[in-house]
Structure 1
Amino acid sequence: MRILSWNCRGLGNPQTVQYLGMLIKEKKPEVVFLMETKLSYTKAYRISKRFRFQGGVVVDVVGRRGGLMLMWKEENLLELINYSQHHINVRVSDESGSNRWLLSCFYGHPVSSLRSKTWSLLSSFKPEIGGWGVIGDFNEVLYNNEKEGGNPRSEYLMRKFREVMEEGSLCDLGWARNKFTWSNCHEDESFTKERLDRAIANVDWKSLYPVHTVETLPAICSDHSPIFLNYSIERCSFRRWHHFFKYEASWNNEEGCSEVVAEAWRKRMGERSRMEGLMWKLETTQRKLSQWSRNLNRERLEAIKEKTHQLDTLQRNVGSENSREQK
């Protein structure tokens, strides 16, 4: 199964929603956890339906801050247990029902003086038996080697995080591609980057899923990078999606669209009747437009992937000297 976690810093920006859509299309996560959505329930619900998620939980914003959102593809995949402004707890089960474990989607308090409250909250989730996994933005590092630049982290705050991990018998699941998940993007000596987002789990979870990876994805439209947890699970069924043709109004502004329609419409009808000929031309136009739009989307996706690869390379070696180039 695949889980995407991202502190998106607001889903009101169309570019942020577009990047989220690209991640969902490319990574195909069954579960998506979003923090700091800054959206009302109604707007968040629309986004979940836009990306064809069947299940979801929305924690409303408080004023203009916060907001959590959890979406999952199959309605029976997750079972909601409880939630707050800083977490969403769900029970995860595979289709056979043989593996059931607790998933805590967690958002550590951004104010350091109040972070102990969310540590106490996280500790209270520890199950008596069974697997337990936690993913999200913890707003804290475990050790000072998870931070570069700026003032050193408080040893007291880091120790509190480590104590919560020890009490919960939780282990860090590591990282791939980029160690750091947050940057202030400053272009001077105040440049700072930290590993604030991660996935952790107990021994029972790791024994269930010994093959797992946590990938740090490029940070776009937010100062946080999305993280992508991928672990092996047997899936016994598949669902076939049927795509119906729909003419997009935006195609009118694309180069080549009118030529595709004109070429299809100029084709001779042969010995068909007027009605048969009309239907044949409409089908031909639909087929040609579908092929043209796939090629258009493929070219755009390749261009986006190339830019994303360049950005990823920059962010792995980012510092104050190349922060402007990253922007």
Structure 2
Amino acid sequence: MAVNHFPSVMIITETRIGGDRATRICEDLPFDGFFVTDTIGYAEGLWLQWKKEKVDIFMLSSTEQEIHATVKLLLGDFNEVLSSEDKFGGRNINLNRALDFKECLDSCSLLDLGFSGPKFTWSNLRQVSDLILDRIDRCFANPSWRLLYPEASVTHLPRVFSDHCLVLLELSKAPPASINRPFCFQTMWLHHPGFLDVVREAWEHESILSSAIKLFTNKATLWNKTMFGNLFARKRRLLARINGT
């Protein structure tokens, strides 16, 4: 997670490691801010790590199972599902507990941020006949936070050495990578009287074949944008006018 996705904040749950050993491990990770909780024997344990140049986090309180900080977001393993759609296999869900969970979220005006990727975030790692899958790891935020980060998205990543999958929260979408589209000759160019001038200018200025072809493709691409523009956008606008929309 830290190497492939470069998060500003990373939370690791059920570490089963606390004390000085947890501190030493956190010091070797690429975060200069961290907070670890104690374990209960060889169970529980939470690590909260962050990059100080990216975010400001102030600790309020903590237990072996909870960390309260000033990040205005609620996320983690809630160990509870909201509906039968969040569960595969095993016993039926406890409707009273699910309703209590939903009532708590509604009273706090919290919105589920949704997700992409695998539907379930926890597995009992058994064979298919005894397999149980749950969606118990979630991200919630209030409406004001959602308005502040309208492009925020949650992705369920593959499980790695754990019964829980990794959950990645991104506050904004990465800019699309530029794509060098291959040159495509358009037959309609042959019917335009100005196209022969484009061809002539390219071949008259270059005597080397490869250079002439490169110059022609650049000039033809620019000429096409100037003369015809975005034909797909123009087609959509014309169809919309025809349909009266």
Q: Same fold (TM over 0.5)?
A: yes
- Give the aligned partner of residue 46 of structure 2: 68
| Counterpart residue type for residue 2 of structure 2 | I
Cα offsets for 1:99-153 (capped at 9, x unmatched): xxxx3xxxxxxxxxxxxxxxxxxxxxxxxxxxx3101000111111111112211
Corresponding residue number in structure 2 for 1:141: 81
CA positional deviation for 1:25: 0.6
| Residues 1:222 and 2:201 are matched in the alignment | no
1:232 alignment partner in structure 2:
172
**What pairs up with 1:255-266 in 2 under 5 angstroms?**
none
Tell me, yes or no, if structure 1 residue 193 matches structure 2 residue 133: yes
Q: CA deviation at 1:167?
A: 1.2
Alpha-carbon distance in 2 for matches of 1:185, 1:38 = 19
Q: Write out per-residue CA displacement over residues 271-303 of structure 1, whole angstroms, 9 at most, x where no aligned residue.
A: xxxxxxxxxxxxxxxxxxxxxxxxxxxxxxxxx
Q: Find the partner of 2:28 among 35, 50, 61.
A: 50
Match of 1:179 among 119, 124, 146: 119
SS at match of 1:56: strand
SS for the counterpart of 1:227 is strand
Q: Which of the two has higher C-alpha Rg?
A: 2
Aligned Cα RMSD in Å?
Answer: 1.5
Give the gaps of 5 or more residues in structure 1: 1-22, 92-102, 104-131, 234-327
Letter in structure 2 aligned against 1:142: L
User: TM-score when scaled to structure 1?
Assistant: 0.51
Is 1:167–2:146 an aligned residue pair? Answer: no
Aligned length in residues: 172
2:2/2:30 contact within 8 Å kept: no
Which aligned pairs between 1:87-102 and structure 2 lie closer than 5 A?
Answer: 87-91=66-70
Give secondary structure in 2 for the equivalent of 1:145: helix
Q: Which amino acid aligns with 1:135?
A: L
Amino acid paired to 2:27:
K
Distance 1:210 1:47 in 2: 35
Cα deviation for residue 57 of structure 1 reads: 0.9
Q: Distance in 1 between matches of 2:12 and 2:82?
A: 22
Query: What is the identity percentage for the equivalent residue pairs of Structure 1 and Structure 2?
Result: 34
Q: Partner amino acid for 2:167?
A: I
Match of 2:147 among 180, 185, 207: 207
Task: Give the partner amino acid of 2:64.
Answer: Q
**Which consecutive aligned stretches of 4+ in structure 1 deviate over 6 angstroms post-superposition?**
none
Q: Deviation at 1:85?
A: 2.2
2:23 and 2:47 mapped to 1: Cα distance? 9
**Distance in 2 between residues matched to 1:84 and 1:55, nearest whole Å:** 19
Aligned ranges 1:1-327 → 2 under 5 Å = 23-74=1-52, 77-91=56-70, 103=71, 132-232=72-172
Deviation, structure 1 residue 164:
1.1
Q: Deviations over 1:178-230 (max 9, x none)?
A: 11101112214221111010101111110111111100011111111010000
**One-letter code aligned to 2:28:** R
SS of the equivalent of 1:156 reads helix
Q: C-alpha separation between the residues in 1 aligned to 2:47 and 2:57?
A: 14
Kindly indicate whether structure 1 or structure 2 has the higher relative contact order, using CA contacts under 8 Å at least 6 residues apart.
Answer: 1
CA contact (8 A) 2:73 2:140 kept: yes
Give the secondary structure class of the aligned counterpart of 2:126.
coil
Task: Structure 2: give runs of 5+ residues left out of the alignment.
Answer: 174-245
Q: How far apart, in 2, do the equivalents of 1:186 and 1:40 lie? A: 28
Please state how far the C-alpha of 1:41 moved relative to its aligned partner. 2.0
Whole-Å separation in 2 of the counterparts to 1:77 and 1:179: 31
Structure 2-normalised TM-score? Answer: 0.67
Contact 2:153 2:172 in 1 (8 A): no
Q: Is the 8 A contact 2:110 2:143 kept in 1?
A: yes
User: Aligned partners of 2:82, 2:21: CA distance in 1, in Å?
Assistant: 35
